[in-house]
Structure 1
Amino acid sequence: MPATIASRHHGLLDLPSLRKHAKRLLKDIKNNQAADARSQLHALGIPGPNYRLADALWLVARESGFASWPKLIAHTDSVAFAARHPGFAAANESTVQHWRCGNDIEHSLRVAGFSGSFHMFDDPMVLGPVPALPDHDYWLVRAKFAEQAFQLSAKDIQERQAIQRKALAQLNEDSELVLWCEGDAYDQLFLIRLLASLPVLPRRLELIEINRVPGVERFIGIGQLAPDLLAWLWTQRRPLGVDALALARKAWDAYTATDPGDWAQLAVQPHPALPLLGPALARQLQELPGKEDGLSMTQRLILRIIAERGELAAGKVFGHLMMSYEPLPYLGDQMFNTLLRTITDTPYPLVEELPGREWQKRLIRMTPLGEQVLLGNKNWLDYTPEERWVGGVRIIAGQSPWVVTADGRVWRR
């Protein structure tokens, strides 16, 4: 893809390409071939007609997510300086354990010069049962879910769990941890799960937590960023204290409870110790059945995409969901496929899947029932969808399941 577009995905801005783009834009403006750009400049108080390169650079900066060209330059200089002078040695980075809810940044960390150990905790706690059980029983439940949902072998799951459980068990007051997180539910649940499992506050506990990156048009996750951006993020880490541990334990207890009442209360409260936790809990709460239609938010968004765009390959539906529709993107492709199955592989499907070899390429389209449910004329819970879980809440259609309103109020149906 062109450098100007690519930079808006991985965050590493290409200044020469951006300047060339500004020069071409200025030429088009002067030749009356860029009406939108002229309108933007006029709205910014620059009516013309004697436009300058600085005006075009201003527009390019705003396209990239910055208030002005000088602010774009300042950000670029900051990233470059961090990449050249990360200060790893002074911060004793080599002794640090880098914890992440996946392996998406492991290679980039090495490219950027990080030398500390890397630990992955990749249990997707946004899906399946996450009940309040003794540790051994909890891991068995999660293993059974992963085996069924993702068609993984029991041996592979046991080996992955063993590595992660061992790493967790070895954390103590002498540990040095840096956690890398985003603001979505997948990451925030990883964050509170790990913090809640700590027996004491470690000697070093720091958090790198972001929900946007300047210059990135649609921030999905840290894994999309160029390695130099990881060095820049490193300078923004902050320490966590006992207040963060206490909040994490409270949030984890709420998420794993059979009654989502405490969870719903935490979702609407500010949490200075973990400021991105509330919005993530609020978004995940919307995976409970909606009061009006019985759908989770993800199910509803899938139907909306098909209603607005027509018959599509499942992989394209996933792409639209992540890039345009989902307010806090958190799904991987296999996780999306697992959720898609809840409305296709059922006696009363909301979406019909046409035959095909790979699920990503199979065309899917709305059924008449799906159309009625999306319109709110029928409730999905009346068609006895299969049992599912959201955190510790078990949803069985005929047993007064918990439902949620758009503003986050919960009660039994």
Structure 2
Amino acid sequence: MSKESQAQRRYAKNLAQAETLLAAYLSGDANAIARIQNNHPQGQEDGFVPTLQDARLIVSAASTKVRRLSLEKLKKEAKDLFKRLKASHLDALERYQQNHPQAADKLASQLKLADAQWVIARENDMPSWPRLKAHVALMNRVEIPAQRARFILDRDMTTIHIRCGSDIKAALSEAGFKGGFLEISNPFPQGNVVAFDPLEYFVDARAHFITQSYGGDVAPEWIENTADDIRHVEAVLRSLPDGVERIALWFEHDPFDQLCLAYVLAHLAENQLGDVKVELISAEGFPGVAHFIGIGQLCRQPENLIALWQARVEVNASMIAFGARCWQAFIASDPTPLWRLTQEEGAPLPLMRHAFFRMLQELPWVDNGLSLTERLALQIIDKEGPVTLDKVFQFLMTEMEPLPYLGDIMFLSAIRPLWNGKITALSVVSRDVTKPALQQELLCVNEVGAAVLAGEQHWLALKHKGCNEPSERWVGGVLSNAAGRCWHWSEQLKQPVLFSYR
């Protein structure tokens, strides 16, 4: 199933659950009332009456939480599913069709309990029932801190852990890891990305973008040392493997992480690694998480990181070379070589291939000039508006985005041009600058936005009219909103094309 189809299914599933939750609340069901009151910011206020949107926010947030798995409950789920399969219940048959690798070869009458167990395992991001049982057993072993000490983890080698962001730093320590930590917080999915040589040109280009794009929405201390932080990361990467025996790379499946991974691998391709081990800890799902967004979700239970560590893989020369090729293609002014890399079947880093394909969809689309992020945001606001961006961002990340990768301030930076300027696709219904950045504007789609969504107008053509010159937008090294003619994404061809617009 495609990532886009999965997003549509998530929306439909969350909507159905929200309708059930709201109906139960309104009928006086005690469990539904408690759930909404305990999970909605206004749930405890007198006179609060939830809407369907409120219920959807609660349901969508719940889908990202980590559920601790119990083998007994999993066995019961498998038995219940098996009974429903034998009775030909549509929901059970649908789950079977979606998750059983041999669904096309077996009729419902031929199924055994093992088939239901296989479905349960696949629904929990495990390839088989034995692997799911092994995962549950491991989690039970490391749940108690005293038991974690039995695991060697990274104590057998001098190790540096590299991660985009600091979300797992404390959890690594709590789980028992002892190695050093390097945080890379450079938001490569946005802004002009140039080669890291010469160093100062790279530092200046990225620091300028970060401070100009995010400076008005974050506390000054968050970005005041941006240039020095970039230089520090570069110094460490350029010096590797000095002082370490192992380089541990913690990157999940989304474009932000995979861009950082490609950036690191491009550095490692230029270094003399010798006998140093390079290992990758990656994930595109985790047992017990209905909608996996990233490793950061797992940090409330540090033992989850131990489970990921057990599944790490050694990074070989072909992986390093592929990552370096992807990085060089991403910073090029022509996106065609990058698109070709995304089409390489059997590529040594398949998650990177998929993530860069998603990044190419941030080019303006041929039909209306919107990037995929802009398109999805407008669709959400069109359904939910008037609405504030914090709710739009939650629906984007938990339902609509095929590969969630944006931080909230990155999202705000991407979407703000839709209501800033002489020609806008969104109208500001009200504004309260005393609130957090994503709650300040109450937004709705206006006539221009509706025309753009319908493909009746081209967004870039509108923004370039008269004096409404838009700020530069980049996808890596590609200027994605040059006047008159620039690279676009063709959804029909599934590739970038040079396209002229008026």
**Shorter-chain TM-score range:** 0.7 to 0.9
Cα deviation digits, residues 149-183 of structure 1 (max 9, x gap): 11065642123223322222321376420000111
Does residue 11 in structure 1 map to residue 98 in structure 2? no
Instruction: Give the Cα–Cα distance (whole angstroms) in 2 for the partners of residues 325 and 7 of structure 1.
Output: 15
RMSD after superposition:
3.5
Q: Say whether residues 1:404 and 2:404 are aligned partners.
A: no
Shift of residue 331 of structure 1?
0.7
Amino acid at match of 2:152: A
Question: Partner residue of 1:75?
Answer: 135
SS at the partner of 2:311?
coil
Inter-partner Cα distance in structure 2 for 1:141 and 1:265? 27
Equivalent runs, 1:314-353 vs 2, <5 Å = 314-353=389-428
Query: Could you tell me how far apart the structure 1 residues matched to 2:202 and 2:305 are?
Result: 33
Match of 1:204 in 2: 277
2:187 aligned partner: 124
Distance change in 2, residues 1:252/1:115 (3 Å): same
Residue correspondence of structure 1 range 134-283 to structure 2 within 5 A: 134-151=198-215, 153=220, 155-172=224-241, 175=244, 176-198=246-268, 199-200=270-271, 202=273, 203-225=276-298, 226-283=301-358
- What SS is found at the alignment partner of 2:278? strand
SS at match of 2:234: helix
Q: Give distance in 2, aligned partners of 1:7 and 1:72.
A: 22
After superposition, the Cα gap between the structure-2 partners of 1:17 and 1:379, relative to the gap in structure 1 and judged at 3 Å, is farther
Distance 1:221 1:93, change over 3 A: farther
Q: Deviation of residue 57 (structure 1)?
A: 10
What residue number does 1:104 align with?
A: 167
Deviation at 1:284, TM superposition (A): 0.1
Question: 1:60 and 1:258 mapped to 2: Cα distance?
Answer: 45
2:238·2:271 contact (CA, 8 Å) conserved in 1?
no
User: Aligned partners of 1:271 and 1:69: how far apart in 2?
Assistant: 26
Q: Deviations over 1:24-75 (max 9, x none)?
A: x99xx9xxxxxx997656888999xxxxxxxx99999887677998775443
Deviates further, 364-373 or 130-139? 130-139
Residues 358 and 403 in structure 2, CA contact (< 8 A), matched pair in contact too:
yes
Percent identity for Structure 1 against Structure 2:
32
In the alignment, the residues of structure 2 paired with residue 90 and residue 360 of structure 1 have an alpha-carbon distance, to the nearest angstrom, of 40
Letter in 2 for 1:188: Q
CA deviation after TM superposition for structure 1 residue 368, in Å = 0.9
Instruction: Call closer, same or farther: CA 1:278–1:63 in 2, change over 3 Å.
Output: closer
SS for the counterpart of 2:495 is: coil
Taking the aligned partners of 2:379 and 2:335, their CA distance within structure 1 comes to 26
The yes-or-no answer on 1:390 pairing with 2:466 is no
Structure 1: gaps spanning 5 or more residues: 30-35, 48-55
Does the 8 A contact of 2:485 with 2:498 survive in 1?
A: no
Unaligned runs of 5+ in 2: 1-34, 39-58, 97-106, 110-115, 465-469
CA displacement 1:275-296 (0-9 Å, x = unmatched): 2111111000011110111110
Give distance in 2, aligned partners of 1:409 and 1:397: 15
CA, structure 1 residues 64+282, in 2 after alignment: closer, same or farther (shift >3 Å)?
Answer: closer
- How far 1:76 moved relative to its partner? 1.2
Q: Matched residue pairs, number?
A: 398
Q: Which amino acid aligns with 1:220?
A: I
- Are 1:102 and 1:120, in contact at CA under 8 Å, matched by a contact in 2? yes
Q: Is the 8 A contact 1:97 1:119 kept in 2?
A: yes
Distance 1:42 1:230, change over 3 A: closer
Distance verdict in 2 for CA 1:379–1:39, change over 3 Å = closer
Aligned residue identity for 1:356: D
1:377 is aligned to 456
Does structure 2 retain, via aligned residues, the 8 Å contact 1:287–1:296?
A: yes
Contact 2:265 2:320 in 1 (8 A): yes
Q: TM-score, normalised by structure 1?
A: 0.84
Q: Distance in 2 between matches of 1:344 and 1:8?
A: 31
Distance 1:61 1:37 in 2: 20
Change in 2 beyond 3 A, CA 1:281/1:274: same
